[in-house]
Amino acid sequence: MVMSRRERVEIPDGDFWDFDWTDPPHAAPETPLVVLLHGLEGGSGSHYARALMAFLASCGWRGVVAHFRGCSGERNRMPRAYHSGDYEELALMLAAVRSRTAPATPLYAVGVSVGGSVLLNWLGRARGDAGKILKAAAAVSTPLDLLGAGIAIDKGFNRIYVRHFLSTLKPKSLEMARRFPGLLDEPSIRRAHSLYAFDDAVTSRLHGFTGAHDYWTRASAKPWLAKIALPTLVLNAKNDPFVPRDSLPNQRDVSSDVLLVQPDDGGHGGFLDGPFPGNLLWLPRRLLDFFAHHR
């Protein structure tokens, strides 16, 4: 297990982010650094985060898991959370990471699932300015079309995963509703048994959307893929249960800086390799191979 150090980053609105840094001993200023943006209710303890940070350390690279608000194990202070289109928040997070590195440090970003959606939303809007902060980026198992993904995740066996997500999302939201009376409707939160209902009752209300449909439409990353002007790997398995195959982009949907990789297998953030039960090395190797080509 790779040891990390936690940094509490205070932000101007009175809230905070928690960054978990993985630093090899005696790292030089020019040692590459990879920022990981986790998925829904994820963090530095997620399987993909542990695998990536361990692989970075084995290669002598540095890493940092930048937790979205409320995802580091501690309650955030303000009436705000995170969402798939939170590109303005990400711009501030990346600026905070960049300010903590030497100018010579190559900086890369990886977003998984929701984190990938936030990253692609920012890349598409930043266009050429993204290169002032990052060398390259990667989005893994990203629900590029939130309407399609939202419908898929609320069907059949996937509802088991929905219950898992809601088991942490709902208590956080109920606690926030009690701290900030009148902000959220507690009965609506308690009745939410789908991601659509939760996003309608909570995510949209906290972040300026008129409802879940408005949120899923405006926060989808797919329309921004054609605007990206930074080397970017977009990796989606065709058997991802949360991302319908027919929602995946083709080369006509993206800019020339976007590399689409769509293997038949890999599930949602899994990409297991080797004999049963498999290992998690394929994804970190694929990511670092891409980044190494953009030093």
Q: What is the pLDDT of residues 100-130, one digit of tens each?
A: 999 999 999 999 999 999 999 999 999 999 9
pLDDT at residue 279 greater than cutoff 90: no
Instruction: Give the rounded percent of residues in the chain with a pLDDT score beyond 90.
Output: 84
pLDDT computed for residue 276 by the predictor: 67
Summarize the confidence of residues 133-145 as an average pLDDT: 97
pLDDT at residue 25 greater than cutoff 90: no
β-sheet with 16-22: strand ranges across: 5-10, 16-22, 62-66, 33-37, 107-112, 136-140, 232-235, 258-261
- Which of these three, 219, 254, 281, is where a domain ends? 219
- Which of these three, 167, 192, 219, is where a domain ends? 219
Q: What is the CA radius of gyration of the chain?
A: 18
Within this chain, do residues 54 and 132 fall inside the same structural domain, yes or no? yes
pLDDT at residue 183 greater than cutoff 80: yes
Residue type, 42: G
Taking alpha carbons only, the member of 196, 244, 206, 268 closest to residue 39 is 268
CA distance 278 to 281: 9
The residues assigned a catalytic role are: 113, 240, 268
pLDDT computed for residue 135 by the predictor: 97
pLDDT computed for residue 286 by the predictor: 96
CB 78 within 8 A of CB 14: yes
3-state secondary structure of 8: strand
Within this chain, do residues 27 and 160 fall inside the same structural domain, yes or no? no
CB 225 within 8 A of CB 144: yes
CA distance 28 to 11: 28
Q: In the structure, what pLDDT confidence band is assigned to residue 182 with cuts at 50, 70 and 90?
A: very high
The structure tokens listed for 31 are 């040692």
Within this chain, do residues 120 and 258 fall inside the same structural domain, yes or no? yes
DSSP 11: -
pLDDT computed for residue 75 by the predictor: 93
Q: φ, ψ for residue 102 (rounded to 5)?
A: -75, 150
**Count of structural domains, the chain:** 2
Within this chain, do residues 87 and 193 fall inside the same structural domain, yes or no? no
Please state whether beta strands 107-112 and 232-235 pair in parallel, antiparallel, or not at all (unpaired): unpaired
Within this chain, do residues 187 and 97 fall inside the same structural domain, yes or no? no
Lowest-confidence region among 34-48, 215-229, 264-278: 264-278
CA distance 76 to 5: 19
CB 195 within 8 A of CB 154: yes
Summarize the confidence of residues 240-268 as an average pLDDT: 94
pLDDT computed for residue 232 by the predictor: 98
3-state secondary structure of 33: strand
pLDDT at residue 205 greater than cutoff 70: yes
Within this chain, do residues 134 and 273 fall inside the same structural domain, yes or no? yes
Within this chain, do residues 115 and 80 fall inside the same structural domain, yes or no? yes
- Which of these three, 193, 219, 245, is where a domain ends? 219
pLDDT computed for residue 29 by the predictor: 79
Domain region containing 105: 5-145+222-292
- Mean pLDDT score across all residues of the chain: 94
CATH number of domain containing 36: 3.40.50.1820
Within this chain, do residues 138 and 156 fall inside the same structural domain, yes or no? no
Summarize the confidence of residues 5-26 as an average pLDDT: 94
Within this chain, do residues 134 and 10 fall inside the same structural domain, yes or no? yes
Consecutive H or E run containing 261: strand 258-261
pLDDT at residue 28 greater than cutoff 90: no
Single pTM value for the model: 0.95
Within this chain, do residues 27 and 77 fall inside the same structural domain, yes or no? yes
Q: In the structure, what pLDDT confidence band is assigned to residue 58 with cuts at 50, 70 and 90?
A: very high
Within 10 Å of residue 59's Cβ, how many Cβ atoms? 15
pLDDT at residue 273 greater than cutoff 90: no
Orientation of helix 87-99 relative to helix 114-126, angle to 10°? 80
Within this chain, do residues 141 and 22 fall inside the same structural domain, yes or no? yes
pLDDT computed for residue 295 by the predictor: 82
Within this chain, do residues 116 and 209 fall inside the same structural domain, yes or no? no
pLDDT computed for residue 156 by the predictor: 76
Give 118's contacts (C-beta < 8 A, 6+ positions apart): 37, 82, 83, 84, 85, 86, 87, 89, 90, 111
Taking alpha carbons only, the member of 18, 7, 130, 5 closest to residue 74 is 18
Give 191's contacts (C-beta < 8 A, 6+ positions apart): 197, 201
